[in-house]
Structure 1
Amino acid sequence: MCRLFINADSQLWTYRTKSLRIDGVVTSIRLEEFFWDILEELSFRDQMTVNQMITKLYLESLDADHDISNFTSF
């Protein structure tokens, strides 16, 4: 299992912070590059922008009464 990380492109594990607007509020989310890549693939598949997908996830989480005090961790 450790080889997965040892042999992986180290660029995938660098952080990137994006500023975005969720439900009218400006915020920022810091994730590893790998996770931004996955979000971009999923949003492209669903014909959305990454910001639209994150907003949708946020609103669905609120509707489901999830504790999202730390949305990045969620």
Structure 2
Amino acid sequence: MCHVYASTDPQRYECSTRSLRLQGSVTSVRLENEFWEILDHLAQDQQLSTGQFISELYGEVMASKGAVHNLASLLRVACAVHLHIRAEPAVRSA
């Protein structure tokens, strides 16, 4: 079973840094390429750029929680939640 994970293309877990504008300030976020790809797809589904999608997510969290203590972690968890939600119908139909 670990072979599936161990054979992952290293490019997928290499990190990339992107600059984003959040509430008028420019910041940089460093994530593994796999997470950037998921975020790119999420943004595309919403007909937004990835930067716009992240900015909207950031704004919603700020409005509901008052702070974002670790943006990179928030984005990774958002990707994980997305994958869990997407997998639920497959689990229910199995």
TM-score clears 0.5: yes
May I ask how many residue pairs the two structures share in their alignment?
74
> Which amino acid in the other structure matches residue 25 of structure 1?
S
Where in structure 1 are there 5+ consecutive unaligned residues? Answer: none
TM superposition outliers: structure 1 runs of 4+ over 6 Å = none
TM (norm. structure 1) is 0.90
> Which amino acid in the other structure matches residue 42 of structure 1?
L
TM (norm. structure 2) is 0.72
Where in structure 2 are there 5+ consecutive unaligned residues? Answer: 75-94
RMSD: 1.4
Larger radius of gyration: 2
More helix by share: 2
Partners of 1:4 and 1:51 in 2: CA distance: 31
Report % sequence identity. 38
How far has the Cα of 1:3 moved from its partner?
2.3
More strand by share: 1
